[in-house]
Amino acid sequence: MPILTLLGIGLAAGILSGLVGIGGGLVIVPLLVMLGGMSQISAQGTSIGALILPVGIFAALKYHRAGNLDIRSSAFIACAMALGAYFGATLALQLPQDTLKKIFGIVLVSAGLKFLLAK
């Protein structure tokens, strides 16, 4: 995949991550599949690799400086998330690609509907 495409995907994900807290699953994964022709599982792994430190640390610092970061809550969520990510990745690697794509689509559509129908 061309470097400029990868940089564009990263920039879009970074802006959306800092702006509204989304990036990896909602932006990077679909774009890597659609524009890069990656498999679902490779796109998910690549997204996780890209998000591990750079996005989180810079966005968290900005929110912390503005007084909008509850460090205690974040620490508990991070611990549970680490455990969940391990088991989720184990499960994802065992699922057929079609099943994984359907689960991914259901999650995105469900989240989108919830936001669209919110009052």
What residues make up the domain containing 84?
Answer: 3-116
Examine the pLDDT at 53 and tell me if it is beyond 80. Answer: no
User: How does pLDDT run across 92-113, given as a tens digit for each residue?
Assistant: 999 999 999 999 999 889 988 9
Tokens of 57: 């640390």
User: How does pLDDT run across 56-100, given as a tens digit for each residue?
Assistant: 788 889 999 999 999 899 888 888 988 988 999 999 999 999 999
How far is 110 from 37, CA to CA, in rounded Å? 25
Examine the pLDDT at 119 and tell me if it is beyond 90. Answer: no
Examine the pLDDT at 23 and tell me if it is beyond 80. Answer: no
Indicate the number of domains in the chain: 1
How far is 115 from 35, CA to CA, in rounded Å? 26
How far is 12 from 14, CA to CA, in rounded Å? 5
